[in-house]
A = this chain, B = another copy of it.
């Protein structure tokens, strides 16, 4: 897997956030995860299993950004991370993985997705336990940061 592989996830994430929340995120350069840590307040995680590969995807939001996405989608801002925000982050994670699955499937890279899990907790961080390279991509906005991390192993 090379860094180009993250592009379908990147495109899918930008597309989902733009479509659902009319919000523009600015992606930074994707990189092999070494020092950069995805640290945030709410994360959606999803497992992926294909005939030849398996892996995991996480999308981590800072609280203020997650609440802003929620506000733009539903018209009212939650005061804090609640169950509605949790469900939304799970749905976004599902849609991002689904969008990437479609693009990658057309390129002959097949996988199925598990159901998403959402973790909420101030300033948590995430480790993908995977023998393949871990790719991380930070996204910036005036409302806070988000991170996508993916890892596939054969």
* Interface residues, chain A, with chain B CB atoms under 8 Å away: 43-49, 54-56, 58, 83, 86-87, 90-91, 93-94, 112-130, 151, 153
Partner of A115, one of B93, B117, B119, B151: B151
Q: Which 4 A-B pairs have the closest CB atoms?
A: A47-B47, A121-B124, A47-B114, A90-B129
User: Smallest CB–CB gap between A44 and chain B, Å?
Assistant: 8
* B129 pairs with A118, CB closer than 8 A: yes
Known: A87-B129, A94-B129. A117 touches B54 (CB 8 A): no
| Alpha-carbon gap, A153 to B112, bound state (A) | 14
Q: Is the CB of A47 within 8 A of B127?
A: no
State A47–B140 Cα separation when bound (angstroms): 28
- Residues of chain B within 8 A (CB-CB) of A94 are 129
Partner of A46, one of B47, B116, B119, B120: B47
Q: Known contacts being A47-B47, A48-B47, A49-B49, is A56 close to B127, with CB within 8 Å?
A: no
| Closest chain B CB from A94 CB (angstroms) | 7
Q: Which residue of B lies closest to A153 (CB)?
A: B115
- Given contacts A45-B45, A56-B47, are A119 and B114 in contact (CB under 8 A)? no
In the complex the two chains form, what is the Cα distance from A93 to B54 in whole Å? 15
Contacts of A115 in B (CB 8 A): 47, 54-56, 128-130, 151, 153
